[in-house]
Amino acid sequence: MTSIAGSLGLISGGAAGEIPPKAARLVEIAHSNAARLVRLINDILDIEKIEAGRMQFDLRPLALAPLLEAAQHQTAGFAGEYGVKVDIEPVGAGFAVLADEDRLMQVITNLLSNAIKFSRRGEVVTIRVTPLDRRYRISVIDRGEGIPEAFRSRIFGKFAQADASDSRQKGGTGLGLSIVREIVVRLGGSVDFESVEGAGSIFHVDLPAAELPGISPTPSEVETQMPRDPTLPIVLHVDDDPDMLAVVSSAFDGKATIHSTPSVAEARAAIRRTRYDAAILDVGMLDGCGTDLVAPLRKRAPSLPVVLFTAQEVDGAPKDGIDLVLVKSRASLDTLVREVTDRIGSDRVNGGGGK
């Protein structure tokens, strides 16, 4: 299909020589519909990959300024077709998030494409970054017609269109915002919007903040620098991926104090010092397996909730002292936070728990 769309584009551009005006119009229609079908197929494949847990995410600290500039450059030609300009408000040099570069680029370009399509000719689409508490908010602002009230509850649904004619007039597939939401959730973030009919819309993407390489504190330094709220439960997180340690710690912000370590040996020492309310373990570390920690954890607190959070495809049935198995590619951080905090609450009601 991609080759068909490309060939029609060449013919429409005159690569095969001049063609009669009526035929040229038919070729242009065919090219437009073929290109839309290619986008639809690609979007459907992306949705299927995400829902099946087959879309890979390579989480790492990303500087926002160059990424947003690249997104602006990628959509410049599209914006030009609509007579719309894309502006980026100044972004701090140290503003960085923990995300997958390709997937975050997909999110931003999807939001920019939508904003451009629904903007009036001559208008400006603005990208703004706002620092929040251990997060950064990326906002894409348009000054178009806004989103009808009746459509807002369905806006992130599959094949959602505010108007039946939108797909023809604007060329959308109705899957773009659904893909945006699915990707952002799996990056440990959230997406929301605000809109005023007749005045425009703002889409917000909130993602965990990250330190750029060279200035990132080690997990042990994080523990000593962050004052602990004594009302919060304490959760041990063992994972040999420093980026995953950072993003999980950010996800639990305000809900639990996370003690992070990439080492089974360090975790054993921490268990001797601290009585934990829950533990999140990965499977394969350089110095052992996270499941080796179940026995010492249970010795300190027999009913302590233990969640296996791993990239490996393992049997999801709880076993060997594990209360729950979550596979990283299929379980969002929201799910991890909910499952752990719910289990801590149940354990405390039943008289277990740490401290």
Give the SS3 label for residue 352: coil
Whose tokens are 């601290």? That residue is 274
Neighbours of 255 (CB within 10 A): 15
Say how far apart CA 113 and CA 313 lie, in whole Å. Answer: 36
In a domain, 18, yes or no: yes
265 and 323 both lie in a single domain: yes
Handedness of CA 178, 203, 256, 266 (dihedral sign): positive
Nearest to 312 by CA among 325, 294, 297: 325
* Same-domain check for residues 187 and 62: yes
Per-residue burial over 209-226, b if 16 or more Cβ lie within 10 Å, else e, is bbeeeeebeebeebbeee
Q: Does residue 75 sit in the same domain as residue 22? A: no
Read off φ and ψ for residue 133, nearest 5 degrees: -75, 100
* Domain boundary pick from 34, 55, 76: 55
| CATH assignment of the domain containing 333 | 3.40.50.2300
- For residue 93, being part of any structural domain is answered with yes
**pTM recorded for the entire structure:** 0.52
**Boundary (domain end) residue, out of 179, 208, 237:** 208
Clarify whether residues 233 and 299 are in a common domain: yes
pLDDT at 103: 86
Are residues 43 and 78 located together in one domain of the fold? no
Tokens of 256: 């639990």
Containing structural domain, residue 173 = 56-208
Hey, what are 269's tokens?
């020492």
Rounded Cα distance between 326 and 311, Å, is 9
214 within a domain of the structure (yes/no)? no
Give the integer Cα–Cα distance in Å for 341 and 102. 31
C-alpha span between 324 and 308 (Å, rounded) = 6
**Domain annotation covers residue 355:** no
Read off the CATH number of the domain in which 103 is found.
Answer: 3.30.565.10
For residues 142 and 18, state if they share a domain: no
According to the model, what pLDDT value does residue 166 have? Answer: 46
User: Would residue 313 count as lying in a domain?
Assistant: yes
In the chain, the number of structural domains is 3
Same domain, 257 and 315: yes
3-class SS of residue 289: strand
Question: Where do the H-state alpha helices sit in 187-278?
Answer: 219-225, 242-251, 264-273
Question: Which one, of 250, 296, 290, 291, lies nearest residue 276 by Cα?
Answer: 296
Please report, in tens digits, the pLDDT of each residue of the chain (355 residues total). Answer: 444 544 545 555 555 567 777 776 765 666 555 555 555 556 556 656 666 666 677 888 899 999 999 999 988 888 998 999 999 999 988 899 988 888 899 899 989 999 999 899 999 999 999 988 788 999 999 998 888 777 666 676 554 554 544 444 544 545 668 888 888 888 888 999 888 888 889 999 999 888 876 544 444 433 443 455 678 999 999 998 887 888 898 889 889 999 998 888 889 888 988 889 999 999 877 777 888 899 999 888 888 999 999 877 665 445 678 999 998 878 888 899 999 999 998 866 665 555 4
Radius of gyration from C-alpha coordinates of the chain = 24
Q: What is the DSSP letter of 141?
A: E
* Residue closest to 141 by CA, chosen among 206, 62, 86: 86
Using CA atoms, how far apart are residues 334 and 59, in angstroms rounded to an integer?
16
Q: How far apart are CA 262 and CA 285, in angstroms?
A: 7
Residue among 186, 96, 178 nearest 138 (CA):
96
Both 289 and 176 in one domain: the answer is no
Q: What's the confidence (pLDDT) of residue 222?
A: 35
With contact defined as beta carbons under 8 Å apart, do 65 and 198 qualify?
no
Is 67 found in the same domain as 41?
A: no
The confidence score (pLDDT) of residue 87 equals 95
pLDDT at residue 198, as a whole number:
80
Q: Extract the tokens encoding 252.
A: 């639990």
What count of other Cβ atoms lies within 10 Å of the Cβ of residue 29?
A: 12
Give the pair of three-digit tokens for residue 139: 């906002």
In a domain, 213, yes or no: no
16, part of any domain? yes
Q: What is the pLDDT of residue 212?
A: 76
Instruction: Specify whether 61 is located in the same domain as 119.
Output: yes
Q: Name the domain boundary from 55, 73, 90.
A: 55
Same domain, 333 and 305: yes
- pLDDT at position 223: 45
Domain match, 35 and 161 both: no
In a domain, 234, yes or no: yes
